[in-house]
């Protein structure tokens, strides 16, 4: 049951500490840029899984609350618990069916209740011991409840390993691993993790949104790389010129890449 990803030493600090600090003036905007791109895919799947009125939902790592808003306003669920280590960005959401929970999901003492839906997008990949976390989340499902996990996957163009784009993206994953412990290598194992938890109807899918110049995803990567410059260069994979070239490429009409996608895996507790 343990995760098979060897790591080169402990990370220097978790998400929001050495990188992606919530108080950064453009952090909410950065998260929103990616949310905009992935929300249609996420919500289409949640709808297909039957999420609607009467459901009690836990949104783990709720971020700026775009999925929370969809659950409340479009799906019309009964209650949403929106959990994040930093919940300032959720302040504008005002709904009696919303409970905002400022908490660290890795805190073993956490007991948020039981749910018909537990959804976590782009959260587990940033956290330590995510296999254990999948177990804890599965333990909070009501009978018939769904656990839905979305995280990043890469389909790299291995025929162009030395392009500035590829080198910078690879440097980013390495830098994220060594600074905050991000690791996407276990994402394809999520369906197996869900099966190991005894969940039924386990399935998964991948969505790779278009990476087009000036589009929200290009802006997201551009902002992410710009904020990580020292960490990118510290990997030794790129220098300032390569990062500059990669950033220019993101806004150039020549941009043509299959960007990182999102894998969604889900499973259901027996009724």
Ligand X SMILES: C[S@@+](CC[C@H](N)C(=O)[O-])C[C@H]1O[C@@H](n2cnc3c(N)ncnc32)[C@H](O)[C@@H]1O
Q: Note the residues at the interface with ligand X (CB under 6 A).
A: 15-16, 31, 35, 61, 63, 66, 84-86, 104-106, 121-123, 126-127
Smaller CB distance to ligand X: residue 120 or 164?
120
Question: What tokens were used for 5?
Answer: 């990803």
Residue nearest to ligand X (CB): 63
Residue 39: CB minimum distance to ligand X, A: 8
Residue 180: CB minimum distance to ligand X, A: 9
Residue 89's Cβ-count burial label (10 Å; 0-12, 13-18, 19+) is: middle
Identify the DSSP state of 19. Answer: B
Smaller CB distance to ligand X: residue 172 or 242?
172
Strand ranges of the sheet holding 79-84, from the earlier edge strand across to the other edge: 98-102, 79-84, 56-60, 115-121, 141-153, 261-268, 200-207
Smaller CB distance to ligand X: residue 85 or 229?
85
What DSSP letter does each residue of 206-269 carry, written as one string?
A: EE-----TTSHHHHHHHHHHHHTHHHHHHTTS--HHHHHHHHHHHTSTT------EEEEEEEE-
Residue 156: CB minimum distance to ligand X, A: 21
Residue 245: CB minimum distance to ligand X, A: 26
Smaller CB distance to ligand X: residue 110 or 155?
110
């Amino acid at each position: 049951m343990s995760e098979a990803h060897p790591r080169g030493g402990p990370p220097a600090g978790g998400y929001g500490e050495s990188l992606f600090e919530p108080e950064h003036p453009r952090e909410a905007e950065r998260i929103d840029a990616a949310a905009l791109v992935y929300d249609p895919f996420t919500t289409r799947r949640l709808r297909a899984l039957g999420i609607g009125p009467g459901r009690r939902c836990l949104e783990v790592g709720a971020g700026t609350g775009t999925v929370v808003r969809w659950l409340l306003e479009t799906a019309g669920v009964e209650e949403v618990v929106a959990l994040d280590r930093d919940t300032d960005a959720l302040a504008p959401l005002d709904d009696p069916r919303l409970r905002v929970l400022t908490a660290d999901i890795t805190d073993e003492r956490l007991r948020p209740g039981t749910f018909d839906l537990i959804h976590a997008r782009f959260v587990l990949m940033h956290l330590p011991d995510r296999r254990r976390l999948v177990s804890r989340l599965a333990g909070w499902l009501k009978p018939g409840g769904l656990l839905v996990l979305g995280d990043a996957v890469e389909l790299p163009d291995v025929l162009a390993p030395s392009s500035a784009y590829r080198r910078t993206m690879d440097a980013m994953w390495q830098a994220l691993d060594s600074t905050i412990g991000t690791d996407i290598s276990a994402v394809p194992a999520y369906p197996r993790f869900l099966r190991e938890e005894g969940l039924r109807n386990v399935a998964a899918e991948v969505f790779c949104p278009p990476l087009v110049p000036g589009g929200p995803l290009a802006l997201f990567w551009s902002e992410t790389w710009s904020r990580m410059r020292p960490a990118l260069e510290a990997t030794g994979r790129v220098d300032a010129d390569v990062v500059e070239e990669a950033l220019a490429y993101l806004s150039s009409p020549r941009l043509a890449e299959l960007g990182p996608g999102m894998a969604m895996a889900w499973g259901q507790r027996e009724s």
